[in-house]
Amino acid sequence: MHHMNRDMDWQNNYMVHGPQQYPYARRQHPYEYHHPHMQHAPMMEQPYYPAMSSRLPSDRPLVKLSVALIDTYKHINHVYYEERDARRAARANHPGPQKGVNNHGWDDENYDYIITSGEVIHGYQIKERIGKGSFGQVVRALDASNQEVAIKIIKSKKPFLMQAKTEIELLEVLSKGSDTHNIVNLREHFLYKSHQCLVFEMLSLNLYELLKNTQFCGVSLNLIRKFAKQILKALQYLASPSIDIIHCDLKPENILLRHPKRSGIKVIDFGSSCRSNKRCYQYIQSRFYRSPEVMLGLPYSTSIDMWSLGCILVEMHTGEPLFSGSDQCDQMQKIIQILGFLPTKMIDKSNDQHRLLFFEQTNNSWCLRKNTLISQNPRQTLSQVILGDPKRRNQDSGSQYDIFCDLILKMLVYDPSKRIKPEEALRHAFIAEGEAPNRPRRGV
């Protein structure tokens, strides 16, 4: 149920064997029989004789493709995966060099650099690839002092290089306060064989992987509080007048633990980020964490990251995305089902290209194009979502849920100008309670 739009490995085209001969001789139609010397003789139906066959009944193609079809599919899958595993094992035992087709032979068909384990790039020894995306790939490497680093190797195509240039500029602005404000630290950058490379400190699991380790049961409100406080400090730093950077893609995958057994985190991936006064793109934010102003094509600011954070915190507790739309239209419906209808003035400010995807006007008022339940009490609806599992109620007190729900509602206010600011959220009762002089538990 979780993240249904993540990758699935379907193998749809597999040929079984060549055509098999039908086990019975064809029975001729009476009007098909003509004796060569009897042109005017009446046409007679020939007797039917079964062809001799050594096949067992279960081996006949007609049986395999009808009553035994499920068994046939199982056999096809078994044969396919056996052959695939054999091919993979052969490649692992005899890894021939991958041939490049782009960038003078250095790149594959997608303009990704063809990495080789043990290769030294700019003084860094490549160990293995640990991530891949539309931008390029990330590899684990060792520096001259044998410390692990993560190197982001951007595709060699010009649009990706230009986008990486913007990312570097923003990361250099953030570098002075990166550690104290929970932002990933860019150590250096360089150009290698037409690929922009960004060298980062090596971090641990991202929050989605942490959630996966809980079998998507979620984590406690106590741990949520620790995460929230650190992410809010990062957003406060990004939203400060001297910085004024919108992350534009805040999600569990872009928040990493500093250490696998500690609660310290850092925000990563500024590849989609921009300044508030230099918005580059309209299509931003991953769908589950996309704010309504972005969906409506309205001007946006650092407040879109606060919307994303509200969605993330609920997901980290329940184990499931708060708004898991299958497409843009379904996403808007999911939001309205929990938070109620959007303010009319927001829809009025949007243009037809965007608003008519979701809404239509009847009797001078806006309504959803598709019928759906609209929450009349967002606080109650959201509380029901957060408190859905009785096991979670036993872990945390009811009062904690009340103030947690209150914070999330303030993060998910439709009007971005009224949405809670990072500094206000840091003073909220849910976050401020963590300031109590309780001795923290190690390894949480």
CATH number at residue 310: 1.10.510.10
The percent of residues in the chain predicted with pLDDT above 90, rounded, is 68
Structural domain includes residue 121: yes
Structural domain includes residue 441: no
Half-sphere exposure (Cβ direction) of 336: Cα atoms closer than 13 Å: 19
Dist CA 25 CA 145 (whole Å): 78
Dist CA 284 CA 210 (whole Å): 25
pLDDT number for residue 390: 63
pLDDT number for residue 30: 38
Structural domain includes residue 157: yes
- Identify the domain boundary among 164, 183, 201: 201
pLDDT number for residue 396: 63
Dist CA 128 CA 141 (whole Å): 7
Task: Tell me the range of 147-156, 280-289, 366-375 where mean pLDDT is highest.
Answer: 147-156
CATH number of the domain within which 116 lies? 3.30.200.20
Query: Taking 90 as the threshold, does the pLDDT of residue 223 lie above it?
Result: yes
Dist CA 204 CA 259 (whole Å): 6
First to last CA, the chain: 27
pLDDT number for residue 388: 79
Query: Taking 80 as the threshold, does the pLDDT of residue 136 lie above it?
Result: yes
> Taking Cα atoms as reference points, which of 244, 264, 255 lies closest to residue 313?
255
pLDDT number for residue 54: 57
Q: Which residue has the higher pLDDT, 79 or 408?
A: 408
Average pLDDT on 23-34 reads: 39
Residues 290 and 430 in one domain: yes
Residues 187 and 129 in one domain: yes
pLDDT number for residue 70: 79
Residues 295 and 336 in one domain: yes
In DSSP terms, 192 is beta-bridged to 195
Residues 325 and 423 in one domain: yes
Residues 162 and 181 in one domain: yes
Tokens of 279: 């918005």
> Taking Cα atoms as reference points, which of 299, 322, 306, 304 lies closest to residue 381?
322
Q: Considering only 35-44, 141-150, 151-160, 288-297, which range has the smallest mean pLDDT?
A: 35-44
pLDDT number for residue 65: 74
Average pLDDT on 309-317 reads: 98
Residues 190 and 248 in one domain: no
* Secondary structure E strands in 143-272: 148-154, 186-192, 195-201, 245-246, 255-257, 265-267
Average pLDDT on 240-248 reads: 96
Centre a 10 Å sphere on the Cβ of residue 248 and count the other Cβ atoms it contains.
Answer: 23
pLDDT in tens, 61-116: 777 777 777 777 778 878 888 888 777 776 666 555 677 899 999 999 999 999 99
Confidence bin at 356 (pLDDT 50/70/90): very high
pLDDT number for residue 103: 95
pLDDT number for residue 32: 40
CB 267 within 8 A of CB 201: no
Dist CA 382 CA 339 (whole Å): 8
Residues 241 and 143 in one domain: no
Which DSSP string do the residues of 423-442 spell out, in sequence order?
Answer: HHHHTSHHHHGGGS-PPPPT
The percent of residues in the chain predicted with pLDDT above 70, rounded, is 80
Dist CA 128 CA 158 (whole Å): 25
Domain count within the chain: 2
Q: Considering only 137-151, 172-186, 308-322, which range has the smallest mean pLDDT?
A: 172-186
Average pLDDT on 314-340 reads: 97
Alpha-carbon radius of gyration of the chain? 30
Confidence bin at 26 (pLDDT 50/70/90): very low
Dist CA 441 CA 444 (whole Å): 6
Q: Sign of the C-alpha dihedral, residues 205, 208, 210, 212?
A: negative
Query: Taking 70 as the threshold, does the pLDDT of residue 18 lie above it?
Result: no
Q: Is the pTM of this model over 0.85?
A: no
pLDDT number for residue 431: 97
Q: Looking up tokens 């993540």, which residue turns up? A: 6
Structural domain includes residue 36: no
Instruction: Say which residues have a Cβ less than 8 Å from residue 61's Cβ, sequence separation at least 6.
Output: 20, 22
Residues 168 and 276 in one domain: no
pLDDT number for residue 28: 40
Residues 328 and 400 in one domain: yes
Residues 111 and 171 in one domain: yes
Classify 130 as helix, strand or coil. strand
pLDDT number for residue 97: 61
Dist CA 225 CA 432 (whole Å): 9
Structural domain includes residue 68: no
CB 345 within 8 A of CB 298: no
Residues 120 and 159 in one domain: yes
- Identify the domain boundary among 155, 185, 201: 201
Average pLDDT on 277-293 reads: 90
Q: Sign of the C-alpha dihedral, residues 379, 384, 385, 386?
A: positive
pLDDT number for residue 46: 52
pLDDT number for residue 201: 97
Q: What is the mean pLDDT of the chain?
A: 85
Structural domain includes residue 160: yes
pLDDT in tens, 359-373: 999 888 999 998 889
Residue range(s) defining the domain that contains residue 135: 104-201
Residues 218 and 186 in one domain: no
Residues belonging to the active site: 249
CB 421 within 8 A of CB 239: yes
Query: Taking 60 as the threshold, does the pLDDT of residue 423 lie above it?
Result: yes
pLDDT number for residue 4: 43
Q: Looking up tokens 């500094």, which residue turns up? A: 423
pLDDT number for residue 67: 73
Confidence bin at 436 (pLDDT 50/70/90): very low
pLDDT number for residue 425: 98
Structural domain includes residue 167: yes
Q: Considering only 65-79, 86-100, 270-284, 393-407, which range has the smallest mean pLDDT?
A: 86-100
CB 228 within 8 A of CB 309: yes
DSSP state of 136: E
> Taking Cα atoms as reference points, which of 312, 298, 301 lies closest to residue 250?
312
Overall residue count recorded for the chain in this entry:
444
pLDDT number for residue 304: 98
Residue type (1 letter), 183: I
Tokens of 223: 């741990």
Dist CA 257 CA 353 (whole Å): 40
Tokens of 153: 């190797």
Question: Which phi and psi angles does 19 have, rounded to 5°?
Answer: -65, 140
Question: Which phi and psi angles does 313 have, rounded to 5°?
Answer: -65, -40
Work out the angle at residue 232's Cα, subtended by the Cα atoms of residues 401 and 226, and round it to the nearest 5 degrees.
55
Structural domain includes residue 32: no
Query: Taking 50 as the threshold, does the pLDDT of residue 40 lie above it?
Result: no
- Identify the domain boundary among 174, 201, 228: 201
pLDDT number for residue 351: 95
